[in-house]
Structure 1
Amino acid sequence: MAKAVTIKVKLVSSADTGFYYVTKKNSRTMTDKLSKKKYDPIAKKHVEFRESKIK
């Protein structure tokens, strides 16, 4: 069976609140680390979220 193209990644808040989002990314086309600005409800503002592995 073939390996899946899309993988699940965890986007961790850079505000160190412990809040995270789970999203999918295409591992073949997006080889670099994913980084997005999203809302952190604990910090109550938009902050940078960076990719980390799901354990």
Structure 2
Amino acid sequence: MPKGKDVRVIVILECTSCVRNVVNKESPGISIYITQKNRHNTPSRLELTKFCPYCHKHTIHGEIKK
């Protein structure tokens, strides 16, 4: 394999409900998680259910660009 084409890449997951509320200034912050994914097995954007400390519940966290 050529260098720079790692199979596992680091992705940043951001709370989708906090992002919507930041525009309205209702949320004190945005929940962010850092994880890894396999580029070959999951070529599309990753979405996981994680706990958001700002929403105080489990919400969908979607992958964002670095």
- TM-score calculated relative to the size of structure 1: 0.85
**Which amino acid is the alignment partner of residue 44 of structure 1?**
H
Moved over 3 A (4+): none
Per residue, is there more helix in 1 or in 2?
Answer: 2
Separation in 1, partners of 2:9, 2:65: 10
If you compute each CA radius of gyration, which structure gives the higher value, 1 or 2? 2
Q: How does 1:1-55 map to 2 (within 5 A)?
A: 1-2=2-3, 3-16=5-18, 17-54=29-66
| Aligned partner letter, 1:35 | E
Q: Cα offset for 1:46? A: 0.5
Which is strand-richer, 1 or 2?
Answer: 1
Using structure 2 for the length normalisation, give the TM-score: 0.73
**Residue segments in structure 1 that go unaligned for 5+ positions in a row:** none
Instruction: In structure 2, list runs of 5 or more residues that go unmatched.
Output: 19-28
Q: One-letter code of the match for 1:18?
A: I
Q: How many residues align?
A: 54
